[in-house]
């Protein structure tokens, strides 16, 4: 049996950094990545047979936990019929209908294979619809690794401290305006000076790539007003929050607080694929009619609407749509946060938490940060020590301070209690 260290050494010889997505490398926290051999329910086992309570959930998709029997059955049946056809299937239509049933802001949806693909397609669509070039994004929001969006992004770029990515020419990002999250004055100034050039404003309504930071209701409301006044489109990137924080996604929460609120374009991923490579972008029929083959905005993908992935996603959406699912998931997540808060307070540690549905975040700080610079102002040393103390006790948190965490329906009260007990022990050692 190979150890994690042996596997990492092998991996580094044939894969850059030994990983196929940067944050997996443990570069932010130090140490050796765990090479996962299998997962079931709320648990993962590494190559050495060590079991972990999993709070990554494949970075969000595993809302039901790993290996849910209904999902497995659906995937196995679909695989028998064929892996990929390069032609339409009925299940694509069913998944599109299932997504739209919970997203009142949209009338049509286009399936793709990754959140990055969905995000860049949404930007292209917004530019094609408006005939404008400029886009606004916010510091700490990560919308995938498309060139125009790798400017002061969160996630792995926050982890490694790079404001942008090498290999992105300056002329590619010259139309990208980067503003401070939750700063109303800045967004007003941007529209006052360049409003007739702005194609869209793109935002993570609950940013999960600078840990867990909510867009304030006044901030979202003001963006909606400014977009309406200046003819720009408002794009909600719900790759992470979509169908994870609520059945209607984060936009349903803002709609409760802002009468009539709707984004113009929505981007989804993670949960709608149930762990398979699948994402989507959605909008009104008028906007989506600009896409090929109906309109001039080109977008295509060989594996889009993959029959195995759609089977996984469709079954996942059916199960999370059952009455009471999100009430129970939210309660379980709040229980974890309350337990961590109490354990930190007992140890005299500055600590704060937030959560929505099955998504959560915590900071070693006296109060919740509201933007990227406030997140970055917190040192990583305390988190890194805490991460390893938890990992050593069998609790797998995201290996970077800038990532949100996820609770699944498979996490039990005992799992939560064990996690809180491990945290109490870790807090005493910080």
Active site residues: 142, 237, 270
Distance CA(201)–CA(268), nearest Å, equals 16
For 44-99, give the DSSP string: EEETT--EEEESSTTTTT-TT-BT-HHHHHHHHHHHHH-S--SS--HHHHHHHHHH
Token look-up 């408006």 returns 130
At residue 183, φ and ψ (nearest 5 deg) are -105, 100
Q: Quote the crossing angle between the two packed helices 217-230 and 249-257, to the nearest 10°.
A: 90
Structure tokens at 316: 């996942």
Burial class of residue 394 in the structure, from the number of CB atoms within 10 Å of its CB (0-12 exposed, 13-18 middle, 19+ buried): middle
Token look-up 């797998």 returns 396
Q: Are the C-beta atoms of residues 128 and 184 closer than 8 Å to each other?
A: no
Q: Which residues pair with 276 in a beta bridge?
A: 274
């Amino acid at each position: 049996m190979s150890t994690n260290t042996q596997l990492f050494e092998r991996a580094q010889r044939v894969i850059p950094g030994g990983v196929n997505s940067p944050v997996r490398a443990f570069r932010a926290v130090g140490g050796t990545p765990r090479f996962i051999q299998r997962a079931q329910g709320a648990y993962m086992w590494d190559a050495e047979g060590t079991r972990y309570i999993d709070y990554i959930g494949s970075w969000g998709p595993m809302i039901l936990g790993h290996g849910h029997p209904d999902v497995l059955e659906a995937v196995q049946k679909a695989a028998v019929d064929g892996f990929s056809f390069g032609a339409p299937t009925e299940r694509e239509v069913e998944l599109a209908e299932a997504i739209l049933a919970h997203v009142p802001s949209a009338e049509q949806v286009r399936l793709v294979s990754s959140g990055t693909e969905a995000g860049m397609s949404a930007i292209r669509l917004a530019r094609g619809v408006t005939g404008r070039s400029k886009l606004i994004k916010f510091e700490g929001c990560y919308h995938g690794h498309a060139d125009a969006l790798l400017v002061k992004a969160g996630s792995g770029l926050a982890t490694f401290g790079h404001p942008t990515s090498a290999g992105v020419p300056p002329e590619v990002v010259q139309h990208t305006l980067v503003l401070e999250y939750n700063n109303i004055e800045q967004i007003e100034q941007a529209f006052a000076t360049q409003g007739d050039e702005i194609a869209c404003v793109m935002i993570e309504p609950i940013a999960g790539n600078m840990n867990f930071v909510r867009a304030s209701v006044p901030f979202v409301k003001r963006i909606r007003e400014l977009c309406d006044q200046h003819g720009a489109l408002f794009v909600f990137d719900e790759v992470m929050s979509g169908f994870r924080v609520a059945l209607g996604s984060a936009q349903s929460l803002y709609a409760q607080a802002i009468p009539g609120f709707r984004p113009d374009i929505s981007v989804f991923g993670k949960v709608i694929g149930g762990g398979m490579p699948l994402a989507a972008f959605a909008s009104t029929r008028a906007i989506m009619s600009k896409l090929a083959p109906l309109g001039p905005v080109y977008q295509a993908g060989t594996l889009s609407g993959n029959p195995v992935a759609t089977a996984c996603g469709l079954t996942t959406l059916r199960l999370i749509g059952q009455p009471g699912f999100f009430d129970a998931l939210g309660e379980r997540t709040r229980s974890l946060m309350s337990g961590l808060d109490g354990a930190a307070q007992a140890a005299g540690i500055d600590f704060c938490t937030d959560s929505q549905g099955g998504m959560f975040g915590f900071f070693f700080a006296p109060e919740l940060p509201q933007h990227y610079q406030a997140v970055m102002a917190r040192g990583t040393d305390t988190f890194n020590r805490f991460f390893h103390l938890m990992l050593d006790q069998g609790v797998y948190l995201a290996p970077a301070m800038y990532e949100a965490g996820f609770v699944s329906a498979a996490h039990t009260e005992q799992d939560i209690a064990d996690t809180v007990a491990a945290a109490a022990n870790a807090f005493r050692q910080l």
